[in-house]
Amino acid sequence: MAQILVVDDEIGIRELLSEILADEGHGVMLADCAGAARRLRDANRPDLVLLDIWMPDTDGISLLKEWAGNGQLTMPVVMMSGHGTIETAVEATRIGALDYLEKPIALQRLLTTVKRALRNHELAAPRQLSMAMLGRSVSLSELRKRLAQLAQTSAPLLLCGEQGMLPELFARQLAAPGAPFLAGAELLADASSELLTRAGGGILFVPDLARLSRGEQKNLEFLQARADKHKTRIVSFSPLDAKALVERCGYDAALLARLGELTLRLPPLRECAEDVPDLAAQMLAQLVESRACAPRRFAVGALNALRLHRWPGNLAELEHAVKNLAITSLDEEIGVVDVERVLAAQVEQAPAPALALDRPYREAREAFERVYFEKLLAAENGSMARVAERSGLERTHLYRKLKALGLPVGRREEV
C-alpha cells in the first residue's frame, strides 16, 4: 500500500490519523513540525502528505510553496485545518494542493480523499515547472499577474514569444484545478466534437501555430467555431506574428483574429535573468526526484554563472543544460567549472541563426546585431570587458549599442 506522511503539531490528531490509515493497510510517517516534514519527505518520498496549515515553526501554506518552488511537489498534498477559510483553501489549491480537509475530519471524508489522491497520483503526468515561487524579475512577476487575470476569463488566448519558451508551462497556469487540459498538435489530425467534449470546462492548447498544416488549420477552425458550445477555451502559441502566419503559413486572417481575441507576450529568458537560478534549481530537483540522475545540487557560483548566460534558446536551452549538468557532473555539487564546460559546448553546437533576408535593410541589420551580441555575451559569460575586446568596440559605445538593441548589459568588472 501507500506511504503517507501526516504533518500536524497536535499529537492526538497524529495518532488518530495514523491508526485509521494503518488499519487501511498504509504505511504512516509522522511529523510534528515543518522541519521534521522536510526531513521525512526528502528521505522517504511519500506517496501522499496530509499537511496541517497551522504549525509552530513554518505554516503549511509556506511549506507547500517551498516544495512547489523547489520542484519537490511530486506527491499529492491534502491540507488540513480547524480554522481555515475559503480563501485559504483556494490559495492552497492554486499553489498545488489536491484537496482540503476541515477538522474535525469525518472518517468517510478522510478515506475518500486519501483514495482519490492516491489514484490521481498514479495517473498523474510528469509535473511541470511551478511558477509559485518565481517572479524575482519584473518581467516574470508581471506575467504571473496577467496570467492570473486571464485565468478568470474564457476567451481564446494567443501566447506570443520566441522559440524555446515552453509555452505549455504558462498555458497550464490558466487551467482551473482538476479541469481538463489537452495539449498537442496531434489532436488536430482528426478533429471532432468528441475532442471538445473531452476538453469541456477546460483548455485545448495548440503549442505552435506556425507548424500546423493546411488541414490542421481547417480542423482548428472547426474546433474554434464550436468551442463556446462545449465550454472549452482554446489557447495557442505562435513565434510568428499574424502577418507572417498569413503570408508564410497560409492562415485565414479571420481565424487568427478569433484565436487572438486576447494576446499575451511571453518574455524571453534573458529578460528574466533573476529567475534563472530558481528555474534551474527546480529542473534539477525534478531530475533527482524522478531518479534520472544521482543526487545533485548547485553551488552558488554555478547558479550565478547560469544567471549571467544570455539563453538564446530560452527555457528549452536551460532545460537541456541542466539535464546535461545533472548527468555528466562528477561531484554531488555542480560547480562553476561544470557550468562553463556545458555552456561552451552548447555555444559550439548551436546552429547558425537564419539571416533576416526578407526584412528591410535597417531591420535586418538590427536582427543580425542582436544575435551577434547575444552570442558574444553568452560566450563570455556576460563579461563586458571581453565582449568589448572581441567586438572591437569602445566600452561606452558597446553600452549604447546594447541598450539600443534592448539587450541587458553584462558584468562590468575587468577580467
Do 3-123 and 138-265 show the same overall fold? yes
pLDDT of residue 73: 83
CATH code that applies to domain 138-265: 3.40.50.300
Burial class (CB in 10 A: 0-12, 13-18, 19+), 253: exposed
Q: Rounded to 5 degrees, what are φ and ψ at 11?
A: -60, -35
117: exposed, middle or buried (Cβ count in 10 Å: 0-12, 13-18, 19+)? buried
Quickly list DSSP for 194-255. Answer: HHHHHTTTSEEEES-GGG--HHHHHHHHHHHHHTGGGT-EEEEEESS-HHHHHHHH---HHH
pLDDT for the residue 345 = 84
pLDDT in tens, the chain (415 residues): 799 999 999 999 999 999 999 999 999 999 999 999 999 998 888 999 999 998 888 899 999 988 887 778 888 999 998 876 778 888 888 888 989 999 999 999 999 999 998 887 665 545 567 776 677 899 999 999 999 999 999 999 999 999 999 999 999 989 987 789 998 877 888 778 889 999 999 999 999 998 888 899 999 999 999 999 999 999 999 999 999 899 888 999 999 999 999 999 999 999 999 999 999 998 998 888 777 888 899 999 999 999 999 999 999 999 999 999 999 999 999 999 999 999 988 765 555 555 556 667 776 787 788 788 877 877 776 778 888 888 888 888 888 888 777 676 655 544 3
Coil/strand/helix, residue 401: helix
Q: Which CATH class is domain 3-123?
A: alpha beta
Query: Is 0.85 topped by the overall pTM?
Result: no
Domain 269-349's class? Answer: mainly alpha
DSSP state of 290: T
Q: Residue 348's pLDDT is what?
A: 58
Give the residues across from 189 on adjacent strands.
none
Domains of the chain, residue spans = 3-123, 138-265, 269-349
DSSP string for 51-103: EES--SSS-HHHHHHHHHHTT---S-EEEEESS--HHHHHHHHHHT--EEEES
Torsion angle (degrees, nearest 10) of CA 149, 152, 158, 162:
40
Chain centroid, CA 68 distance in Å: 11
